[in-house]
Copies of this chain bind each other. A is one copy, B any other.
């Protein structure tokens, strides 16, 4: 892992996209691809692709292109997709239910093991392959089911205290959909999906581009 720790956030942000395109090529039966052809498909530049892949030891041979299956597997390994991840969802509202029903995640090794909600009215409700559990059962469930990622789909006011419970219970990573920044200790990974922020960026682009007309 030594080499991988020098990698910039910008490169890391590009890895899932490489993985997605290489997976599609593999599914189409493509065995080898040049950086030029890959850059054309991805609307990127060949030199950026070569630079990025060189960070991970190359994968390619001059004039011969990249082995698609090998590259796909290696990038998957770098992304940690060679291991299964066990997830719980906190918040069984519309968004929590939507994520629970998203079959793509399981295909990538992200397995939902449980879903929790503080609302007693939701307790026992079937969501995908799970039944909603009360928050009182959360800490024991994490310990007994080797949970590494918690998905937070709860209102922002609840997010900070719940994140502290999760960290104390041994959770290493939080996928945070709550509209709040979580003050977690070092070593705990947080990936934010702030949907309202995303919509505001789109609103900014629309306003700016219509100003040009």
Contacts and interface: CB of A to CB of B under 8 A. Distances in A.
B206 A189 contact: yes
Nearest to A95: B98
Contacts of A179: 20, 104
B102 A95 contact: yes
- Give the bracket for the number of chain A residues in contact with chain B: 35 or more
B206 A202 contact: no
Contacts of A108: 196, 199-200
A32 interface: no
Interface stretch (A79-87, A113-121, A133-141, A158-166): A79-87
Nearest to A2: B211
26 contacts: A1-B208, A4-B211, A5-B208, A15-B200, A16-B197, A16-B200, A16-B201, A17-B194, A19-B200, A79-B200, A79-B207, A80-B206, A80-B208, A94-B101, A95-B102, A99-B195, A104-B196, A108-B196, A149-B202, A149-B206, A172-B209, A189-B205, A191-B201, A191-B202, A191-B205, A193-B193
